[in-house]
Amino acid sequence: MRNLATKTFSGLTAALALAVVTAVTSAATKGPDAGGYSATDSAVYSLVDIAGASGGTSILAGVDDGVAALTIPFAFRFYGKSYTIACASSNGALYLVDLATSCDGFFDFANIDISSATTPNDFAAVLPFWSDLTFQVAGGGSVFYQTIGAPGSRKFVVQWKDAYPQGSLNPVTFQVILHEGSNRILFQYQNVNLGETNPTTNGGRATIGIRNAGALTTQQQIEWSYNAPVLANASVLLFAPASVKAVADVNADGVVSCGDVAIVKASFGKRAGQAGFDARADVNNDRIVNVMDLTIVSRSLPAGTSCP
């Protein structure tokens, strides 16, 4: 947290500003982006409270501008790449990285417009409420994390409990849920309405969205909002990749069949640029056709289908 001046709004002015900004920036859906992700605010809110006695592990209590490395207990695919390590920031951001040491040595207290600037070190990022937050105040909570569910359908939950925005007398509480298998990302907001005279209320000083590394070039990102009060208590945002079913339809004939499997097998083992490489067969866009692509297509076949 940095000692910046806090703006004061009259009740009428703040209400008018809220109405105007919400009308301009709020949307039911956004995307798909260049990586196939779409976002919606129409999902059902159901907070998975992991704080306190609920069993979550607490980190970053009493900390300002801190980052901790977390291990995701399953391979979480994000824009075609698998991650098992995340950097949880006290400032309401989750960065997906290859090494735990990547979580060291950077500060992110100043949120930015991800449509025109990069995250620290250009990290792939999940940003439920990126803002200047702190736990280093009386009443401050911490970040909690916990894995819920059985292998194959687990949920990795990261929750910011009672985080205080810069200059605010009241805290926010929200969470991110990473879903195994579907690779969906859920943002849930328990408390973000801090009063109409508070400039941070409902995300008024936060960046909210997702982005891949290199997003300014690839446009693989969705910025739901930037410094706009578009959230509400008990609200939710869902970010989801293109359905595996659609991706697995390699020949784009409207169904997943042995014809799609045959295309992948014909290009199996080939890398981009090599003779025989078929871009259609590179289902996960990692520039090589391998067992991952074959698995995605095979698992999307109708039940009982056996291909040669």
* pLDDT tens figures, 101-157: 999 999 999 999 999 999 999 999 999 999 999 999 999 999 999 999 999 889 999
In terms of domains, do 17 and 64 share one? yes
Q: Is the pLDDT of residue 13 over 80?
A: no
In terms of domains, do 81 and 177 share one? yes
Lowest mean pLDDT among 18-27, 46-55, 237-246: 18-27
Q: Is residue 232 part of a domain?
A: yes
The pLDDT value recorded for residue 1 is 56
In terms of domains, do 279 and 188 share one? no
Q: Is residue 255 part of a domain?
A: yes
Using the 3D structure, point to which of 223, 240, 257 is the last residue of a domain: 240
Which structural domain range is residue 211 located in? 11-240
Look up the CATH number of the domain holding residue 261.
Answer: 1.10.1330.10
The 3-state secondary structure of the chain, one letter per residue:
CCCCCCCCCCHHHHHHHHHHHHHHHCCCEECCCCCCCEEECCCCCCCCCCCHHHCCEEECCCCECCEEEEEEEEEEEECCEEEEEEEEECCCEEEEECCHHHHCCCCCCCCCCCCCCCCHHHCEEEEEEECCEECCCCCCCEEEEEEECCCCCCEEEEEEEEEEECCCCCCEEEEEEEECCCCCEEEEEEECCCCCCCCCHHHCCCEEEEECCCHHHHCCEEEEEECCCCCCCCEEEEEECCCHHHHCCCCCCCCCCHHHHHHHHHCCCCECCCCCCCHHHCCCCCCECCHHHHHHHHHCCCCCCCCC
In terms of domains, do 181 and 226 share one? yes
Q: Is residue 276 part of a domain?
A: yes
In terms of domains, do 217 and 258 share one? no
In terms of domains, do 236 and 248 share one? no
In terms of domains, do 18 and 119 share one? yes
Q: Tell whether pTM > 0.75.
A: no
In terms of domains, do 234 and 250 share one? no
Q: Is the pLDDT of residue 86 over 90?
A: yes
Q: Is the pLDDT of residue 15 over 60?
A: no
In terms of domains, do 32 and 159 share one? yes
Q: Is the pLDDT of residue 303 over 70?
A: yes
Q: Is residue 70 part of a domain?
A: yes
Q: Is residue 250 part of a domain?
A: yes
Using the 3D structure, point to which of 240, 259, 281 is the last residue of a domain: 240
Q: Is residue 17 part of a domain?
A: yes
Q: Is residue 190 part of a domain?
A: yes
In terms of domains, do 250 and 140 share one? no
In terms of domains, do 252 and 281 share one? yes
Q: Is the pLDDT of residue 244 over 70?
A: no
Number of domains composing the chain: 2
For 292, other C-beta atoms within 10 Å of its C-beta total 15
Q: Is residue 288 part of a domain?
A: yes
The pLDDT value recorded for residue 247 is 76
In terms of domains, do 273 and 224 share one? no
pLDDT tens track for 182-216: 899 999 999 999 999 999 999 999 999 999 999 99
Using the 3D structure, point to which of 190, 217, 240 is the last residue of a domain: 240
